[in-house]
Amino acid sequence: MKNLVTFLPLFYSFSMILAQNNVDIQKSLEDIIKAERQRHEVLYDFEASGVGQNYDVKYHRFQWTVDPSVRRISGAVTTYFKALSALSEIGFDLDAVLKVDSVIHRGTKAIFSQNATDKTLRITPNLTIQAGVLDSVTVFYAGVPPNTGFGSYNQRLRNNTTPETWTLSEPYGARDWWPGKMDLTDKIDSIDVIVTTPPQYRVASNGILVREINVDANNKLYHWKHRYPIANYLVCFAVTNFDQYIDKAPLSRGDTMSLLNYVYPESKAASQQWSWKCADAMRLYDSLFIEYPFKKEKYGHAMFGWGGGMEHQTMSFMVNITDAGLMAHELAHQWFGDRVTCGSWSDIWLNESFATYLTGLYYQYVEPLYWRNWRTSTLGSATSITSGSVFCTDTTDINRIFSGQLSYNKGAYVLHTLRWKVGDTAFFKGLRNYLNDPALAYSFARTADLKRHLEASSGQNLTEFFNDYFFGQGYPSYTLTGCQGDVLGQIQINIKQTSANTSVPFFEMPIPVKLISKRNGKDTIVVLNVNNNDQYFNVSHRIGIIDSVAFDPELQILSKNNKVNWSLCLPTQDIDEQWLTSLSPNPANSLLNFSFHNDRMEMMDIQIVNTVGQVLKSEPKTILAGENSLQISVKDLPNGTYFLKITTVERTSSRKFVISH
C-alpha cells in the first residue's frame, strides 16, 4: 500500500474538512442496491430473441423527437452493420407497441414485420447482403413506450409541475424505446444521439454535445456525439429543464478533467456543495487503475427521478449529486462495467462487485474516517446468508442477479480478500492489465479473464481461491487457541475452521494475527498460512510477553463468528504431579530423562504435548512395579515450552520442560 499513499493527502484534505458527519455507510449501500434491484424488474418477462447474431453493429444514429410532457417517442434509428454471413434477413429487438412506419435499405423501402410475442422487428433487405459487407438500414417508428417493470422509458411531472423524461435500459429495456441488439457480445462502435424537444428543456446523453440549435420557435435540437464502443443498455437520454455547471478534477498525471453536471434548478445549490467529491474519486481511480476511459469526451451527471443511479457511459444518471458513495459507485462503473463490460449477466459481479469495492477504496483513501465502517457493513451483509455464490446461477431471477448480499457485497469482499491474498502490487497491476487487455478493453469480459490477469501479476494459482470464494457458497469461521508460555519470543497457536456451507469444506487462506504486548506497548502482525483444518503453528516474535491476540484485526478476510482463546498462563497441570519424581535436563537438548515409582506392572502412554494441547509424540510402554527410569528423544522438536505427560488407566501426571538446542 505504501506506493499508493503519496498522492492521497493532495485530495482528501478538503474531504476530511467537509465530510458529512452523518454518513450511514450501511444505509447508503442498501439504498444503492435497492434502487438498482428495483430498476431491473423488467427482467421478469424477458426471453432472449436471438436476433442479430449474424451481423456486427458498427454505428447507430438516433434521431428522436421528445416532449417530456407527453409519454411518447418518435423518430428514426439508422444502423450501420457488417454481415458475418450472407444475410437475407436483419433482426432487431423492438417491442411491437412501437409501430414501425417504414424501413429504408439502400434508398428504398424494405419489407419488414413486427412480432408481439418475441418483441422483434425483422427486415428483409432489398437484396442479399454478403459477408463482410458494410451496410445500413433506417427504421422510422413512433409510439408510447411500454411500462415494463419500473420502466426503461420514464415520464413524469416533477413536483407535480415540471415534465421530465429519462431512459434506463439495463439489462433488457432498450427494446422498449429503440430497435437494436440486446446482447453482451457486440458493442456499438459509435453513436450520435440527436433529440429535438421544446426549447425550455435541455437534453443529456452520451458523449459530447456538438450542436445545440433552435430549429424553430417551438423546437430545439441537441446533438450528442459518442465515439467509443458502447453496450446497448448504456445508450441513454434525459430531458427536462436542466441547469448546468462544471467541476474540475485535477488528475494524478498532471492534467485536468471537466465534470459536467446537469441538475434540477431547485437542486443546484445543494449539488454544488458536494459534487466536487466526484473529482476526488476521479483522481483516485485514475491513479489506482488507468486514466478515465472516455477522457477525450467527458464525464458527467444528470439528475433523474429514480431512487439511485445508473452508470450510463460518460454521463451517470443520479437521483441526487450530494451522496459521495453513490457518485463513487457510478463513476467506478466507467472502468468496470462500461470500458470492460460483463460478458454475461451470470458475471454481473464484474460490474457491480467492482463498483461496490471501488466505493470502499474511495472511503479508504479519500474519506478514511468511514473505511472501517464500510468494511464492517459490507462484511456483515456478505455473511448475512450462508447460501448462494457470487457467480450468478439464475439470470432470469432479478433478485438473484442483483442480490445485495452476493452480487454487490460478497463480491466486493471477495475482491478485498483477493487483494489481501495476492498483495497490493499484484492486485492493482492485475486490474490495470485486465482493463488494458486489447481483447477486453471497450469490449466484454468473463471471470476467467480477470482470474488470468491476476494470476499473471501475482504468480499464484488462484483456482482454489475462485472455487472457494467465487463459485462456492458460505464463508469460513475460525477458532484460534494459544497461550504465552515461558519462553519469550516463542508461542504456539492452533487454528480450527468451520464452513457455513457444505459446498466448501475448507477455505485456504493466509490469516493475519495481531500479537499484542500491552506491558511493553508493542504489537506485531504475523501471517499464518492456514492450509489445513486444526493446524498448529510455532510463532516467533520480538515484542515480549503476549497479553492478547486479535484475529484478522483489519478485516482482510471474508469470514464470520471468529473466536480467540488466549491465556497468559500455561495449561493447568494435570493431577498427581508428584508421580513424576524427576525430569532432566531442563532445558533439554536431545534426550529428556524422567523417573517415577509405580506399584504394579501396567501399560503407560508417554506423550510430549505443546502448550495448546497438541500431542507431538506418543510412545506406549509397558512399565514394571517399582522405580522406573525412561528417556524420550526431543532433538527433532523446535525450541519452546512443552509438557511431558504420562498416563495409565488410573492416573495422569505431567511436568513442564523447555527445549533449547
| Angle separating helix axes 25-39 and 349-365, nearest 10 degrees | 160
Predicted local confidence at residue 13, as pLDDT: 35
Predicted local confidence at residue 204, as pLDDT: 98
Strands in 313-436 per DSSP E? 315-318, 340-342
CATH pick for 2-23+342-471 out of 1.10.390.10, 1.10.3720.10, 3.40.50.1220, 2.60.40.10: 1.10.390.10
What is the largest distance, in Å, between two alpha-carbon atoms of the chain?
A: 119
Predicted local confidence at residue 571, as pLDDT: 44
What average pLDDT score do residues 144-172 get? 89
Q: What does the DSSP 8-state code read for residue 405?
A: I
133 bridge partner residues: none
Secondary structure of 277-326 in HEC code, one letter for each residue = HHHHHHHHHHHHCCCCCCCCCCEEEEECCCCCEECCCCEEEECCCCCHHH
Instruction: Report pLDDT digits (tens) over 296-322.
Output: 999 999 999 988 899 999 999 999 999
Amino acid at 382: A
The set of cell numbers assigned to 653 is 501426571
> Which of the four pLDDT bands, split at 50, 70 and 90, describes residue 135?
very high
* CA angle 395–400–405, rounded 5-degree value: 140
Lowest mean pLDDT: which of 94-103, 235-244, 614-623? 614-623
Predicted local confidence at residue 410, as pLDDT: 98
26 bridge partner residues: none
Distance of CA 533 to the CA centre of its chain: 28
Residue 50 contacts residue 74 (beta carbons within 8 Å): no
- Cα–Cα distances (Å) from 434 to 3, 53, 78, 313, 488, in that order, read 20, 26, 33, 19, 47
Instruction: Report pLDDT digits (tens) over 201-258.
Output: 999 999 999 999 999 999 999 999 999 999 999 999 999 999 999 999 988 888 899 9
Lowest mean pLDDT: which of 259-263, 410-414, 488-492, 623-627? 488-492
> Which of the four pLDDT bands, split at 50, 70 and 90, describes residue 631?
very high
86/163 Cα distance (integer angstroms): 46
102 bridge partner residues: 140
What average pLDDT score do residues 74-93 get? 97
Number of Cβ within a 10 Å radius of residue 388: 19
Instruction: Report pLDDT digits (tens) over 556-578.
Output: 999 999 999 987 754 444 444 55
Residue 137 contacts residue 79 (beta carbons within 8 Å): yes
Q: Which CATH architecture has domain 55-324?
A: Sandwich (2.60)
Residues whose CB is less than 8 angstroms from the CB of residue 116 and which lie 6 or more positions away in sequence, other chains included = 96
Residue 68 contacts residue 155 (beta carbons within 8 Å): yes
Predicted local confidence at residue 622, as pLDDT: 83
* CA angle 390–392–398, rounded 5-degree value: 115
Predicted local confidence at residue 12, as pLDDT: 36
Is residue 38 predicted with pLDDT exceeding 60?
A: no
* CA angle 613–614–618, rounded 5-degree value: 115
Instruction: Report pLDDT digits (tens) over 539-560.
Output: 989 998 898 999 999 999 999 9
Predicted local confidence at residue 18, as pLDDT: 38
Instruction: Report pLDDT digits (tens) over 367-383.
Output: 999 999 999 999 999 99
Predicted local confidence at residue 172, as pLDDT: 85
How does the average pLDDT of the chain come out, rounded? 90
Is residue 429 predicted with pLDDT exceeding 90?
A: yes
Cis peptide before 553 (omega within 30 of 0): no
What average pLDDT score do residues 465-478 get? 98
Instruction: Report the relative pairing of strands 73-83 and 535-540 from DSSP bridges.
Output: unpaired
Q: What does the DSSP 8-state code read for residue 520?
A: G
Residues whose CB is less than 8 angstroms from the CB of residue 167 and which lie 6 or more positions away in sequence, other chains included = 152, 153, 154, 173, 177, 235, 236, 237, 238
Identify which of 279, 70, 275, 229 has the alpha carbon closest to the alpha carbon of residue 155: 70
CATH topology classification for 577-659: Immunoglobulin-like (2.60.40)
What average pLDDT score do residues 468-478 get? 98
248/261 Cα distance (integer angstroms): 11
Number of Cβ within a 10 Å radius of residue 594: 20
> Which of the four pLDDT bands, split at 50, 70 and 90, describes residue 150?
low
Number of Cβ within a 10 Å radius of residue 463: 10
Q: Would you say how long the chain is, in residues?
A: 661
Q: What does the DSSP 8-state code read for residue 377?
A: H
Locus of grid cell 436471438: 50
Q: What does the DSSP 8-state code read for residue 346?
A: G
476-567 belongs to CATH 3.30.930.10:
no
Instruction: Report pLDDT digits (tens) over 110-125.
Output: 999 999 999 999 999 9
Predicted local confidence at residue 384, as pLDDT: 96
Locus of grid cell 412480432: 115
**CATH 2.60.40.1840 placement within the chain:** 476-567
The set of cell numbers assigned to 230 is 458502447
> Which of the four pLDDT bands, split at 50, 70 and 90, describes residue 447?
very high
**CATH 2.60.40.1730 placement within the chain:** 55-324
Distance of CA 71 to the CA centre of its chain: 37
Predicted local confidence at residue 37, as pLDDT: 60
Lowest mean pLDDT: which of 62-76, 352-366, 591-605? 591-605
What average pLDDT score do residues 625-647 get? 90
Identify which of 546, 537, 536 has the alpha carbon closest to the alpha carbon of residue 486: 546
Instruction: Report pLDDT digits (tens) over 274-286.
Output: 999 999 999 999 9
Does residue 207 or residue 172 have the better pLDDT?
Answer: 207
560/55 Cα distance (integer angstroms): 49
Phi, psi of 426, deg, nearest 5:
-70, -35
Q: What percent of the chain has pLDDT over 90?
A: 74
Residue 196 contacts residue 237 (beta carbons within 8 Å): no
What average pLDDT score do residues 477-504 get? 89
> Which of the four pLDDT bands, split at 50, 70 and 90, describes residue 626?
confident
483/572 Cα distance (integer angstroms): 12
CA atoms within 13 A of residue 247's CA, in its CB half-sphere: 25
Identify which of 583, 659, 650 has the alpha carbon closest to the alpha carbon of residue 623: 650
Q: What does the DSSP 8-state code read for residue 588?
A: B
| Angle separating helix axes 411-422 and 424-436, nearest 10 degrees | 120
The set of cell numbers assigned to 634 is 526431543
- Edge-to-edge strand list for the sheet holding 237-240: 153-158, 162-167, 237-240, 202-205
153 bridge partner residues: 167
The set of cell numbers assigned to 511 is 490469516
